Amino acid sequence: MDSSKQKRLTEQERLEKKQERYPKWQKAAGILAVIGLLGSLGLARFGWGQKVDSGGVKKLQVYVLVAWTLVPPIWFWFEYIFLFRGAFPNADKDKLDSLKTQQDLSSKIWIAAASILLILYFWKDIGGGK
């Protein structure tokens, strides 16, 4: 069909498409986070017992930990501001409470993961390995 003759989506149809895509974004983010966490945990094997000033893999671990510190809260912000509000501009209290609960649980998993990575990566630097 010629692009000039294509049917333009109504506002309601656009909103329905966003609502349809929203869970797909959440699932993709969850899968990416699990893969990233497994890779990050695997990286802990390398450089165990070394101090940060030894460089090499320790430098990579610093970058990974910084990413785990910054990316999840940026995702929570992006998800709420751009994805959730775009898909559900008139969300009722139940829908909003559901998102808040999900993000609250996710943030607890995130802080636990970041804490575990800190210990696994830098135990020697924070006084555990002396």
Q: Which pLDDT score is estimated for 8?
A: 82
| The total number of structural domains that make up the chain | 1
Residue 128 predicted with pLDDT over 90: no
| pLDDT averaged over every residue in the chain | 90
Does 48 reside within a domain? no
Q: Which residues contact 58 (CB under 8 A, 6 or more apart)?
A: 47, 50, 51, 52, 121
Does 110 reside within a domain? yes
Name the token pair of 86: 């775009």
Q: Which domain holds residue 103?
A: 54-130
Query: Which residue's entry shows tokens 């993709």?
Result: 28
Does 113 reside within a domain? yes
- Per-residue H/E/C for 82-99: HHHHHHCCCCCHHHHHHH
Name the token pair of 118: 């800190």
Residue 31 predicted with pLDDT over 70: yes
Q: Is the pTM of this model over 0.75?
A: yes
Q: 73 to each of 59, 63, 69, 84, 108, how far by Cα in Å?
A: 23, 16, 8, 15, 11
